[in-house]
Amino acid sequence: MSGSAPSIEVALVQLAPEFGNPSANLDRVEAMLGDVEAALVVLPELATSGYSFIDRAEVRAASETFPHGPTTERLAALSKRTGGFVVAGFVERDGDHLYNAAVIVAGGQPVGTYRKVHLFGFEREIFDVGNRPFAVHEHDGLTVGTMICFDWVYPEAARSLALLGADVIAHPSNLVLPGRCQAAMPIRAMENLVATATANRHGVEHREPRPRLAFTGESLLLEGGGREVARGPAEGGAVVRGRIDLGASRLKRFPSGNDLFVERRPDLYVDWSSQAQ
């Protein structure tokens, strides 16, 4: 992509990773994508490792450093082939800290990571909470922000990325609450006039003593404003593809003429940071 690029191709990879086998999972991703070219490819949360870790020892065994780990290197090579960003969930290790994270690569190079801020359920027992502010990354004229799964519950996450200038929010996910995120994301896309790309996994994972988890599929691609462009099946793997117009993400104007961000009144809003208990 170059210049203003009013529209881009996006691919969401919906798969059921094999627990503890990152090499096989990446083999499957590469096979599913084939010769797909896209400005943005998004994989699910913890796409290379699987989700239901029993303890931190298992998490550490699955963890990798950035930017020199094998997952980063393979995905960087994949991004060179697909022609744009690839965003994928993995376990990031930084010293003694272990993060439910997303690796961000583009054009054959490592770009950065996002460490999940809002941990869900038993994730709080085995991962460290993300310790970096939300951020965006730019490549070839496209600006991408990243959040992970349960971050969707917190409007501040998507709003932060939109305020930072994201054209599209990459959203690797392991959703287990049927339909709830898929109902909320059009609101996030509308209230921020930002495109969203939710790549969810499918299938069942059950590793005692963790609960049986049935992942809900239905990966979802939305334009800024909330128009649905593409949706995956509830069950089964798929590469969900669509072309999104970036006009709304960049103009930030409602049809009424209201400028979404210029007309904000942060001087009158509650200071959220002071309300935490």
3-state SS, residue 272:
helix
Total Cβ atoms within 10 A of residue 112 = 17
145 strand-pairing partners: 136, 169
* Annotated active-site residue in 9, 45, 58, 223: 45
149 is a catalytic site residue:
yes
Q: What angle do CA 151, 107, 252 make, to 5 degrees?
A: 50
* Residue of 92, 116, 205, 218 marked active site: 116
**DSSP letter for each residue of 107-118:** TTEEEEEEE-SS
Among the listed residues 149, 181, 205, 223, the single catalytic one is 149
CA-wise closest residue to 72 among 39, 38, 26, 34: 26
Give yes or no: 45 in active site.
yes
> Residue 183: which H helix or E strand, with range?
helix 180-192
Rg (CA), the chain: 18
CA distance 62 to 64: 7
Catalytic residues: 45, 116, 149
